[in-house]
């Protein structure tokens, strides 16, 4: 099974297609409640209620290049396989929130994967978009915000390879503190 970080990349891609300028990504690892919760929230164009209702159906897509949209239905299937679910909340003209819950200790739960590479890739490929990544474990909270990076680097473009490299390292180090270095 694929890492959860790849699902995050895919769901964030929907936000980018919906012209979002700010994408917030939350990862909550709640071992006590045996839950891992992923939330991707955007300020893109949103969906009407009828679309939201159909959005986890693999045969629903507004894409014109092929007949099935896989992103949300695959996430939904992965969550259900570990006793969880996906909830999509959206408002036309306001934005969308996708919340996926997984049983933390379910043997079917994919590992989280490389969140450092995932966020660095999202920033590198979408330099005009702001990303806020918040990750919570029993050891603490790590937060990364491209708006803070932009303030520090001033005129340098955020997609500069040195900056992207720095972002990857910064996130890796932050996650080492709250995840104890293990791959969750």
Ligand X SMILES: Nc1ncnc2c1ncn2[C@@H]1O[C@H](COP(=O)(O)OP(=O)(O)OP(=O)(O)O)[C@@H](O)[C@H]1O
- Residue reference for tokens 């934005």: 95
Residue in 115, 118, 82, 117 with CA at minimum distance from that of residue 100: 82
Annotate 103-121 with DSSP letters as a single string: ETT-TTPPP---HHHHHHH
- Cβ atoms of residues 71 and 10 within 8 Å: yes
Asked if 151 interacts with ligand X (CB under 6 A), we say: no
Write the interaction track for ligand X spanning residues 21-40; mark x where CB under 6 A is met and - where it is not. --------------------
Q: Which of residues 90-129 bind ligand X (CB under 6 A)?
A: 96
| Adjacent-strand bridge partners of 12 | none
- From the list ligand X, Mg ion, none, partner contacted by residue 63 (C-beta under 5 to 8 A by kind): ligand X
108-117 burial string, b = 16+ CB within 10 Å, else e?
A: ebbebbbbbe
CB 103 within 8 A of CB 83: yes
Q: Does 44 bind ligand X (CB under 6 A)?
A: yes
Select from 4, 25, 55, 86 the one that contacts ligand X (CB under 6 A): 55
For ligand X, the closer CB: 15 or 118: 15
Write out the residues near Mg ion by the rule CB under 5 A. Answer: 14, 71
Residue 73 contacts ligand X per CB under 6 A? yes
Residue keyed to tokens 């969550």: 79
Q: Which residues contact 182 (CB under 8 A, 6 or more apart)?
A: none
- Stretches 1-9, 64-72, 78-86, 143-151: which one binds ligand X (CB under 6 A)? 64-72
Q: How far is the CB of 153 from ligand X (least distance, A)?
A: 28
Give the nearer residue to ligand X in terms of CB position, either 5 or 96: 96
Contacts with ligand X by CB under 6 A lie at 10, 14-15, 18, 42, 44-47, 55, 60-63, 69-73, 96
């Amino acid at each position: 099974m694929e890492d959860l970080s790849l699902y995050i990349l895919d769901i964030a891609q929907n936000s980018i297609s919906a012209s979002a300028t700010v994408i917030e990504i939350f990862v909550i690892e709640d071992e006590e409640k045996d839950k891992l919760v992923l939330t991707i929230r955007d300020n893109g164009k949103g969906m009407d209620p009828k679309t939201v209702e159909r959005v986890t159906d693999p045969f629903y897509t507004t894409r014109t290049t092929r007949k099935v949209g896989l992103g949300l239905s695959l996430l939904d299937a992965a969550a259900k396989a570990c006793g969880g679910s996906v909830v999509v909340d959206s408002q036309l003209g306001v934005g969308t929130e996708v919340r996926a819950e997984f049983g933390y200790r379910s043997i079917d739960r994919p590992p989280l994967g490389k969140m450092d590479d995932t966020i660095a890739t999202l920033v590198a490929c979408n330099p005009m978009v702001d990303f806020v990544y918040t990750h919570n474990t029993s050891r603490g909270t790590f937060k990364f915000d491209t708006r803070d990076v932009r303030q520090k680097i001033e005129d340098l473009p955020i997609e500069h390879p040195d900056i992207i490299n720095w972002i990857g390292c910064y996130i890796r180090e932050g996650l080492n503190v709250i995840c104890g270095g293990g791959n969750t």
